[in-house]
Structure formats: structure tokens, C-alpha cells
Chain A
Amino acid sequence: MTARDNRVQTILWVDLSDGCTRLEALPEEWTRKYLGCRGVNARLLFDEVQAGTDPLGPDNVLFFGTGPMDGLPIGMGRMSVACKSPRGTVAEGSFGGFFGPELRRAGIDYLAIRGQADHPVYLYIEDEKAEIRDASHLWGLKTNETDTALRRELSDPDVQLRYIGPAAENLVHASPIFGNLNNSGGRAGCGEVMASKRLKAIAVRGSKGIRVADYDAFLEAYKVFRQRLDLATSRDMWTPVWSTYGAPVLSRLFTDIGNLMTRNASEMRWDYDKATRISCENYLDNYVTKAKACWCCPWTACQKLHEIKSGKYQGFKGGNYWAGQPVTFGSLIDNDDLDLILVLSGLCNQYGLDIFHVGYTLSWAMECFENGLLTKADTDGLELRFGCPDKEGLIDLIRKIAMREGFGDLLAKGCAEASRIVEQGSERFCLSVKGQELEGIAERNLYMVALGIALSEVGPDHTRWYPPYPCNPSLISKEELAELGIDLDLRLAFQGRNPEQKGRLLRWFTISRAIVESMPSCVFLVRDTLGLDMRPWWNLFKAATGIEFDYPEFVMAGERLLNLDRAFNIREGYRRADDHPPIRMATEDVPYFGYRKLDAAVFDPMLDEYYEANGWSVATSIPTRKKLEELGLGDVAGEFDALGIEVE
């Protein structure tokens, strides 16, 4: 097999209705305009899925995107998965692991799956050849069972897989797609869409090599990149903790500063001893068995495998206790039993559920129960209170959500839909935006976060602007910022509760993270100055692809993607009015700390600043004609004109 390059990208179209597959090359200029991965997916989604398409019908298209860096040591195995969400917005998520490099080695950069099979199937790909195979024997299996079964069936320990669990099969809200056991992505609806097509899994094997255009330059660029991230040389305060002990450190760090969502965020601090019990030190000491990593990650132990060593759940294995679960199954529901957290999150992984959907819907239900809006008659007799008095009942409830049984069926709809059904004012306990649950990051103490959550086209998704705690501003000088074209006073911009510069900071963060996700690489690794200075990324991309473009052109690719995502939502009817914080954050000050609610007086000017900085209409959030033309997206403006959508 000859080696492939990184300049021209290929797409495999699969129609599950008629069983046809077709491999073709994408236009070479797309690599320049959209980079790859999330950028190309945004273009494909806008082009292929028209407004009003039924998300669970045959005309929705599910895109899996790798990109020119996958298979190279900075791709981190990242992939973007995108489709139209059952809620109506763009659904785009990313995940890591090892599938992306394998797909690229098979000579395929993108999968585009349309149609619907009439029985469960899986897609088997080997070096540019794809087969649609029967998966009736796999349908109903949990994610870990699917992983084992397929590896056995294919007699290949190194086959790479992506699959859905029973929750997606039952069209449970926010079910993601899984792979490598504990990697998941697409919680905005991609799992449901995959299930609606009756596609249980994708398996891929590839044997091509990948040639970079300028190997010497690539190695030099890698060394710069690695230096910013390596434990020995990174100047970022998060690197030592994130690369070893991990994100569960946050329970201890956040509770005293009012950043820890407790009891459905009715409070923002928890008991310190409880926070310590579920923290990263206890996890590493008593549960972790092994470090794991995605493809070529320069960090030691971002992922981990763990096992419960004693007690009621002895022998339960899982992985990746990270930033979400200490909140979703910890402080949010007032549970300080780390065993229970690991069992609940492990079951979510096995059933193929989204932990944020489950955690926030459980905490919504608990607050309803505590306030008499739900009773034991509604909850199948379960005492559904904060503090989790009935642990066994709660564990069984995870299964019931996945299988849509009894009370589980209400929760399976997500808290936004569930509160519409329960009424009685329960929507004020629902922590969601655009129908998607939050992700555990404080808003009333971090205005950039509040803005980012409200604006995100897929619903709350911190990866679109991560991290909420940027690097030390003294790492980068005013002169360097000017060179980079970043017009920000970082000290002001990084002040959590100062509304100034938040819109412009978020503009830069969303553009730069869009670039990182389009290469692709891992957005968690924008450490040190890598979130501000995109030149190391640019050098890597040029060396790998051989494309000579200047820095502003490279950066523009990120902005182009954001405009395509926004345009998709605009076409579906979303406007400025949909970009707002959850009701609780907008109407309630933070108890004890007194952090102000995000009412219109503080929120609207930040929103204005973001839209203006982006060149979007302040009234509607629709990208202006001038902005679209500047980005080479005149066709989008044309389509808006044809649809009668007002473009300023």
C-alpha cells in the first residue's frame, strides 16, 4: 500500500436505505478553507442537511470526521461527529481514542451516513472497502459487551470501533456514541441519530502509511508544541494536576469559591469533607489501577482505569473519573460516596447514557421531589432526595432510564422536556439551554463561561471555548498579543465577574478552539500559551499538509466554521432569544457568596459585545452579509436571501 498524504481528504458516502457506498475525494481547497474534522463537518452538515429535515428520519446525515493530523502524533485520535440534533440544532461532538487514526489509515477521512437500514447493521471498513453487515445479534448489547463481541467476531484485537448502547437504541435524550470503552462524544444527539439509522457500530482496519509534506519541519514544530505541554517544561498551573491526579481535584478547589454546583445548583458550595471524600487523591490512592491515554497524548494519565476494591460494589470496573462525575453524581445530588459515583457513571457508560443528562435530570427530579412537585407515586416508590437515601433504587434507575421503564421514561426525555410534562413551575429547576443539560461549570462567578454556554450552537458544550481558567496572563506580552492580532486586555478579560471584554475573549476562544478541533487535536491541551498563540499549531499543519498559507488565513478557518454552525441554526429558526442562561442562573443570586444573577442588565451587554465582535447582527445574531463575504461564505448569504431570512 502506498502512503497517503494530508492534503486531499476523502469521504465515504454510505446510504443505509439502499446499501450503496461511494468513496470520493473532497475538493483540495477545502483543506485550506476548513482544515478538517470539525471544520469540514460543519461545511458538510450545512450543505447536506436542509432546514426542516426530520432528525430521526432517513434524510439526516451522520458525519464522522477525522482530519489531516489524525494518525500523526498531535492528532490525539480526535474525531468530530456531527448531524442535526433531535432538538433541532447542530449536533456536534468530539471524542478521542484510536478510531480516527485507523480510519485515516484505511484511506478515509470522513464517513457520511444517510438513510435508514431496515434491520440493525454495522459498518465494516477495511482499506477503502466498506461492507454493511447484519448486527441483529449485537442490538441490545451494552457498549462494553458490544466492544468485546465485535473484537471476538472479527478476530482482531486491534480493530477500532465506535458503537452505541441500549440507551441510544431506545432514543434516550442525549445518548452519545462510544468507543475504546470509555470515550464518548456527540451528546447533542448523535447517538440517537445513529440509532434511528439502526447503525449499531462501525469497525475499521487500515494499513496505509501517512506521509507528511515536510518531515524536518514537522519534527521541529512538534518539539515546540511538546515543550508547552510536557510536565517538565509547561508553565501552566494546571499541567501537573491534569496530567496525573486529574480533574476530580475540582471538588476541593471549587467549593470555597462558589464554583461547585450543589443540590441542583441551589447552592454553589458543598461540605468540604464531602468534597474531599470524592476528590482525586482518594481516587488515585484507592481506585486507580492503570493510566490510559488517547493516541499519542503527551500527558501521563489523563484517562485512568479503576476498580472498586471492597464493599458492596467490589469488583466493579470502569474508567475515566474526570470533571463531570464529581458534580453530576457527587455535589449536584449531594452524594459523597465515591463508590456510588463510580457505579452510576460506569453504568451510564455501559448503557450508553450521557452523564450530564442523567445527573442534571436526577437533580432536577430530586429538587422537584423535595418541593412536592413529584411524589413516590410518580417515582415508582423511590425516595428521590438529595443525599441519595436509596442507593440501590438510584442504581436501578439508571437502567430504567436507558430502557425507558417506568419513571425512567420521564427522565429519559431530559429535564427540559420532563419539566414541560410535570409543569407546576418545575422548569425553574431545569438547568439546560436549548434543551441540553449543563456540564458542571459555574456561571455566575465566571462570565465568559456563562456567555459561552448560552451561545453555543449545540447547547452547553464547554469544549467550544475550554478552559474556563485560562493561562497566566503574564505568560504572553502585549507585543506578542498584537502580533497575534488579539485585541484584548488579558488581565481584564480573565477576571471572572467583570463583564468587560468577555464577548471579545469568547470570540477568540471559540475561534481558536475551532481551529484546534479542525486539525484535529485535543482541545484539553491548549495549555501554557497554546490557547492564545496558534502559531505552533499552524506550523504543524503546514508541515504536515504542505499547504502554504499565512497565519491570518489559518485563523480564519476557525471563524468560518463558527459561522457555518450559526448559519445552520439560523436556518432552523434559532435567534438571539435562544442564547441565554438557564432560568436559575438568570434569576437567582448565588446563596452565601452573593454572586449576582445573570439578568439582562449584566448579560445583554456581553451578548451584544460578542455579536458585534463577530460581525453578527446584534438584534438577531444572524451573521451579516459583510462578514459572510469576508469569510468566503457568500453562498450562505445567498441561501438566506432565497429563504427570506433577513441578512443585515
Chain B
Amino acid sequence: MKRIYVIEDLCNGCRLCETFCSSLTDGVFDVKQSRIKVIKVPGEEKDIPIVDCNGRCVRPLYDDGGPTCVAVCPTGALIYEEQHDAVAKRLELEAAREEHSLFKVIAPWKWPLPWRRPGAGKAAPAGGD
């Protein structure tokens, strides 16, 4: 069964998830109604989404029917997967981070442009730096 998993260190604290979720039932944006809350540690060094929801969204924003919070998250900090896929994605993130610092700030599955995957063949550069 799919559920919402959180990748905490990808969260940038934007609160799109919390804001949209809070409004889905009655059109009122009220964080008290939200089923996902983003905790900000004082000093703002950590943003931690805490989810209290089974992922069957009250009102999916897009036609794919997936939870709205996951759909609006810009970084990929929220995923809606079966457990084994969630594990695979987490491993994918860790491997991507070994390759490129870009994935400090965004999940590889959210990056829409071509990039060199881990283990992909690489021709020797022709001199220069």
C-alpha cells in the first residue's frame, strides 16, 4: 500500500504542503486544519515535515489523483510510494548525492533535465582542466 514518506533533509521549509492541505476540505487556508505540519527548528537550520495522513487525499490537485502535498512539493521531500519503491528512491537520492552537489537541494526524480547518472560511462576528457 502506498503511503507518504518524508525525506527530511530535502525539505526547504516552504510550507506549500501544509498550506494547500489546510484548505482542501473547505477552501479555508488554516494551518490548524492541515494534516502535514512543517516544524522549523529555531535558527531555521532544520525544516521537518510531520505527516498525519494515509495519502488518500481529500482533494488531489492534479488529475493523477496523487496527494496534493506531494504534487506541490518543489524539492521531492515528499514521496507517495509503496515501501519498496520508497526505499529505492531513497537509495537513488543517496547515490545521486555522491555524484553531484545539485542533489543537496533537489531529488533526482524532480530534476527534469539530463544529467550523468551514477555508473554511467564517461569518456576521458581531452586535456585541459
A contact set with B: CB distance below 8 Å: 3, 71-73, 98, 147-148, 151-152, 157-158, 180-181, 207-212, 215, 218-219, 222-223, 226, 230-232, 240, 243-245, 284-285, 288-301, 303-305
Q: In the assembly, what is the distance between CA of A72 and CA of B40, in Å?
A: 19
Are A208 and B16 touching (Cβ within 8 A)? no
**Tally of chain B residues near chain A (CB < 8 A):** 40
A339 to chain B, nearest CB (A): 17
Are B14 and A210 touching (Cβ within 8 A)? no
Are B42 and A157 touching (Cβ within 8 A)? yes
Are A157 and B40 touching (Cβ within 8 A)? yes
B64 at the interface (CB under 8 A from A): no
Name which residue of chain B comes closest to A214, CB basis: B27
Are B74 and A231 touching (Cβ within 8 A)? yes
In the complex, what residues of B have CB within 8 A of residue A72's CB? 19, 29
Q: In the assembly, what is the distance between CA of A293 and CA of B10, in Å?
A: 12
A212 to chain B, nearest CB (A): 6
Are B43 and A148 touching (Cβ within 8 A)? yes
Question: Chain A interface: which of B50-58, B83-91, B104-112, B119-127?
Answer: B104-112
Assuming A207-B32, A300-B106, is B74 touching A295 (CB within 8 A)? Answer: no
| In the A-B complex, the 5 residue pairs with the closest CB atoms | A209-B30, A215-B27, A293-B14, A301-B105, A291-B105
Q: In the assembly, what is the distance between CA of A288 and CA of B10, in Å?
A: 13
B66 at the interface (CB under 8 A from A): no
Are A299 and B74 touching (Cβ within 8 A)? yes
A177 to chain B, nearest CB (A): 17
Name which residue of chain B comes closest to A3, CB basis: B28
- The A-B contact count (CB < 8 A) is 122
Are A180 and B43 touching (Cβ within 8 A)? no
In the complex, what residues of B have CB within 8 A of residue A298's CB? 16, 72, 74
Are B30 and A231 touching (Cβ within 8 A)? no
Are B104 and A284 touching (Cβ within 8 A)? yes
In the complex, what residues of A have CB within 8 A of residue B101's CB? 284-285, 288
Q: In the assembly, what is the distance between CA of A147 and CA of B43, in Å?
A: 8
What are 10 A-B contacts with C-beta separation under 8 Å? A3-B28, A72-B29, A73-B29, A151-B42, A180-B44, A209-B30, A210-B29, A219-B61, A290-B105, A296-B15
Assuming A209-B30, A291-B75, A296-B14, is B106 touching A301 (CB within 8 A)? Answer: yes
B9 at the interface (CB under 8 A from A): yes
Checking A3, A158, A289 against B40 with a beta-carbon cut-off of 8 angstroms, the contacting residue is A158
Are A294 and B45 touching (Cβ within 8 A)? no
Are A209 and B29 touching (Cβ within 8 A)? yes
B20 at the interface (CB under 8 A from A): yes
Are B27 and A300 touching (Cβ within 8 A)? no
Are A300 and B30 touching (Cβ within 8 A)? no
Q: In the assembly, what is the distance between CA of A290 and CA of B101, in Å?
A: 11
Are B28 and A244 touching (Cβ within 8 A)? no
Checking A158, A211, A245, A297 against B14 with a beta-carbon cut-off of 8 angstroms, the contacting residue is A297
In the complex, what residues of B have CB within 8 A of residue A73's CB? 16, 19-20, 29, 72
Name which residue of chain B comes closest to A304, CB basis: B105
Are A288 and B104 touching (Cβ within 8 A)? yes
Are A301 and B30 touching (Cβ within 8 A)? no
A558 to chain B, nearest CB (A): 25
In the complex, what residues of B have CB within 8 A of residue A293's CB? 12-14, 74
In the complex, what residues of B have CB within 8 A of residue A243's CB? 74
Of B29, B62, B72, the most chain A CB neighbours within 10 A belong to B29
Name which residue of chain A comes closest to B29, CB basis: A210
Are A290 and B9 touching (Cβ within 8 A)? yes
Are A215 and B30 touching (Cβ within 8 A)? no
Are B16 and A223 touching (Cβ within 8 A)? no
Name which residue of chain A comes closest to B107, CB basis: A300
A456 to chain B, nearest CB (A): 30
Beyond contacts A294-B14, A299-B74: 20 other A-B pairs, Cβ-Cβ < 8 A, are: A3-B28, A157-B39, A207-B32, A210-B28, A211-B27, A211-B29, A218-B27, A223-B61, A231-B110, A231-B112, A290-B9, A290-B105, A291-B10, A291-B104, A292-B12, A293-B12, A293-B13, A297-B16, A297-B74, A298-B74
